Amino acid sequence: MVILKWNGKKKESDILSEMDETSPFCIHDIYSSNRFSFKLVDEWKNLLIWGENKAILKSLLKTFKNRINLIYIDPPFATGGEFNLKIQIGKNKNYLDKIAYTDKWREGVDSYLNFLYERLVLMKELLAENGSIYVHLDWHISHYIKLIMDEIFGCENFRNEIIWAYPAASAKTRRFFIRSYDTILFYSISDDYVFNDNPKIYQEFSDRVKNALKKDDKGVFYYRGGSHNGKKLSRKVYIEKDGIFPRDVWNDIPYIRANTVEYQGFSTQKPERLLRRIILASSNEGDIIADFFCGSGTTLTVAEKLGRKWIGCDSNLYSIHIIRKRILNLSKSNDALNWKKFYNKEPNSFNILNIDKEDKINRIPNVFLSKDYRNKKLVELRETPNLSVKIHQKDNKIRVELIDYKIPFEDFISDKIKKKIKSYSDLIDYWSIDFDSGNEIFLNMWFSFRTPKSRILSLKSDEYQYKESGSHKISVKIIDIFGIETIKSYPIKTIS
């Protein structure tokens, strides 16, 4: 067998033996499918985990060894570049670019290979006996990773090198051919793996075929032909399927555009239809799907819509926040099986966890700072923002109104940004309420947030009615445009 060597390559056994150094997960946020009734235990919760994925993979192994049915990853591609996500301020639809992640490998290809190899070895341990893994890359590094995948998963378990071809509209080169496809490597764990022939994964007929066919009033394809007793006929022969079983070249899925419902302003966001094909083909309802580089959460979103359980993680807190909102807003996104309709369902319960032991001092992204303060440690925040609310109470019924939000670091913010902030509410991207916060964990019972398409935020909550009179604690959480999270609690007394 051919094996790739590089500097610093660890032995598989060493990677696996480091597994004892695991860190426990902490629950950061809870969302329940029934907003006012939270079951803290005994029920499957989808998991969105903030942190470095190597530590997360190791910790997941304690509970999920051989239990994950499908892994899709879209890691950095070793491009040497930086990738952005878009931030919006208040009602403004204009965007500011913030770096989402850097894909620079100062120590060269070796360091990239070390990075991915270690993680792939751990991912293999999580996969179920009938599971599969899809690794999304491009020309920069996919040829090296193909060899590594052969080594870890076995050449015999290689299934496809999928070419996802899309038009590269902005390519300017005239010195070589324009690069316009990504590579997705598909491996299974064994020969006994899930693979579904589902018409929803089919590729559309090519234009040549479509031109040769006719469509009836209902849009069903047919051709004229058939025969009887050796005689050629010219009757309608219907084609039962809408397309063909997919080849390994996928050129029927366009790249994300800003005018689509699914657009999240994340520069390397992948299309939901790409994940739909992968998830429908390689998993069944109720299976566990994982994405350890989940970005804007495309895999998790599609898994949720297709009735799969999901686990996702990302080291960027902004990603986690984008995904939180994307999942909560799912009912207004395209139905994965009937694209022209809205999904129209509330998401299942999910928890946001974190694992990082790092000091979590809030840092304001450079894009907001005036020149003098960019990249300075000074802008690490030790003081928390100040929020004020008004509690409207009638007996045991409560509404919370947001009336002010002040940041203690206004001096650091650039004038250009300050001009865009017309009111305190422009600083707020998301807020939520735990009406009965006896727990240490924040239960998001009511929330309002802005999305890339809808910039409206409700400043007054819906009414909440307490079942029991007495003392309660209301906690209010704000996530602002800088990504900073603030929680403040208020005691109240209710009488029925």
Residues 6 or more apart from 258 whose CB is under 8 A from it? 265
Nearest approach in angstroms of CB 134 to ligand SAM is: 11
Residue pair 436/424 in contact by the 8 Å Cβ criterion: no
Given the rule CB under 6 A, which of 161-169, 198-206, 291-299, 327-335 is the region that contacts ligand SAM?
A: 291-299
Is residue 428 close enough to count as binding ligand SAM by CB under 6 A?
Answer: no
Given the rule CB under 6 A, which of 142-150, 268-276, 355-363, 421-429 is the region that contacts ligand SAM?
A: 268-276
Is residue 100 close enough to count as binding ligand SAM by CB under 6 A?
Answer: yes
Is residue 333 close enough to count as binding ligand SAM by CB under 6 A?
Answer: no
Residues 6 or more apart from 494 whose CB is under 8 A from it? 393, 395, 396, 398, 466, 468, 469, 470, 472
Nearest approach in angstroms of CB 415 to ligand SAM is: 30
Provide φ and ψ at 96, rounded to 5°: -115, 140
Nearest approach in angstroms of CB 152 to ligand SAM is: 18
Provide φ and ψ at 222, rounded to 5°: -150, 165
Is residue 76 close enough to count as binding ligand SAM by CB under 6 A?
Answer: yes
Candidates 46, 59, 130, 269; binder of ligand SAM (CB under 6 A) is 269
**What SS3 class is residue 449?**
strand
What does the alpha-carbon distance between residue 131 and residue 154 come to, in Å, rounded to a whole number? Answer: 14
Given the rule CB under 6 A, which of 7-15, 247-255, 290-298, 405-413 is the region that contacts ligand SAM?
A: 290-298
Nearest approach in angstroms of CB 295 to ligand SAM is: 2
Is residue 293 close enough to count as binding ligand SAM by CB under 6 A?
Answer: yes
What does the alpha-carbon distance between residue 44 and residue 169 come to, in Å, rounded to a whole number? Answer: 43
Is residue 142 close enough to count as binding ligand SAM by CB under 6 A?
Answer: no
Candidates 266, 343, 431, 466; binder of ligand SAM (CB under 6 A) is 266
Residues 6 or more apart from 231 whose CB is under 8 A from it? none
**Size of residue set near ligand SAM by CB under 6 A:** 21
At 342, which amino acid appears?
A: F
Given the rule CB under 6 A, which of 57-65, 185-193, 309-317, 355-363 is the region that contacts ligand SAM?
A: 309-317
Residues 6 or more apart from 343 whose CB is under 8 A from it? 305, 330, 331, 332, 333, 334, 335, 336
What does the alpha-carbon distance between residue 92 and residue 390 come to, in Å, rounded to a whole number? Answer: 26
Is residue 352 close enough to count as binding ligand SAM by CB under 6 A?
Answer: no
Structure tokens at 373: 């303060």
Candidates 45, 124, 146, 270; binder of ligand SAM (CB under 6 A) is 270
| Interface with ligand SAM in residues 110-129 (CB under 6 A) | none
Nearest approach in angstroms of CB 72 to ligand SAM is: 8
Helix 109-126 × helix 53-64 angle, to 10°? 20
Contact residues toward ligand SAM (CB under 6 A) are 52-53, 74-76, 100-101, 266, 268-270, 293-296, 298, 313-316, 319
